[in-house]
Amino acid sequence: MHKRVARYKAVLFDLDGTLLDTAPDFTTATNVLLAKKNLPQTTEEKIRPLISDGSAGIISSIFMMDKSSQIFEKTRKELLVAYKKHLADNTRLFKGLDKLLLELENNNIPWGVVTNKPELYTKAIFNQLKMKWHPDVTVCPDHIKKIKPDPEAVLLACSQLGVKAKDTVFIGDHHRDIKAGISAGTSTIAAAYGYIDDHSALSDWQADHIVMRSEDLINLIFYPQ
């Protein structure tokens, strides 16, 4: 087996919109709840840019409900119940990431996930997807005091992997991911293929790299053969 040389000693991914394309299942869950409330169905195109703001973002935009509404939290919980039933129906690794994960495994480069998604849903997805490769570390809001953009989660992941932040790269599709990585001292890659609403703002994030296609990530992680 030919060994490749990696640019980093560890790789960290954001989850939704970076490692996994979860938009189809968020769309299914949202439409289940819309149907329950006799409201018109929505599309994946409308859901995708909302996912970075979690269930609250979907409720605010699709259900046009202010967070101060007395039924906002009840509706959000209803969405999460529907999502838990469908969270692995059509969720998949982004294109080319199976090859990247295989290369990381073959070259003994540890990798992990740093997400603002609660552990309940994160674990359920990994369990149900039956992926060939599982992260060496997964850091969710349940494990820390301050979520991204605070660097705490990134630093915890580096610590658990036994690597220094400066030898690690953090990949994410939201400004908070890049800010967390920069604050932690990692290299950063902005995943422009993810759930980004305004691509014109990408350069303002000050990531070390911007990757437009998920299948091109491997060329930023490993040196050319």
Q: What is the CATH classification number for the domain harbouring 160?
A: 3.40.50.1000
Beta bridge partners of 111: 11
Last residue of a domain, one of 52, 86, 120: 86
Which of these, 136, 41, 51, lies nearest to 87 by C-alpha position?
Answer: 51
Last residue of a domain, one of 36, 56, 86: 86
Residue 177 shares a structural domain with residue 156:
yes
Question: Tens of pLDDT along 183-222?
Answer: 999 999 999 999 998 888 899 999 999 999 999 999 999 9
Domain that holds residue 132: 10-22+91-221
Residue 141 shares a structural domain with residue 48:
no
Please tell me the total count of domains within the chain.
Answer: 2
Residue 82 shares a structural domain with residue 97:
no
Does any domain span residue 1?
no
Confidence of residue 224 (pLDDT cuts 50, 70, 90): confident
Residue 110 shares a structural domain with residue 182:
yes
**pLDDT at residue 1 is higher than 70:** no
Structure tokens at 17: 């919109």
> For the chain, what is the total number of helices (H) and then of strands (E)?
9, 8
How far apart are the C-alpha atoms of 149 and 136, rounded to whole Å?
22
Nearest-10 crossing angle of helices 152-161, 175-184: 60
Residue 107 shares a structural domain with residue 183:
yes
Helix (H, G, I), strand (E, B) or coil at 95: coil
Question: What's the confidence (pLDDT) of residue 168?
Answer: 98
Structure tokens at 201: 């703002």
Structure tokens at 124: 């359920």
How far apart are the C-alpha atoms of 55 and 24, rounded to whole Å?
14
- Which residues are catalytic, by number? 14, 16
Residue 121 shares a structural domain with residue 201:
yes
Last residue of a domain, one of 57, 86, 115: 86
- CA-only gyration radius of the chain, Å: 18
How far apart are the C-alpha atoms of 149 and 92, rounded to whole Å?
25
Residue 102 shares a structural domain with residue 198:
yes
Residue 72 shares a structural domain with residue 112:
no
Structure tokens at 67: 């967070």
Does any domain span residue 62?
yes
Does any domain span residue 2?
no
Residue 105 shares a structural domain with residue 146:
yes
Confidence of residue 2 (pLDDT cuts 50, 70, 90): low
The chain-wide mean pLDDT, for the chain, equals: 95
Pairing of strands 111-114, 168-172: unpaired
Residue 28 shares a structural domain with residue 47:
yes
Residue 60 shares a structural domain with residue 142:
no
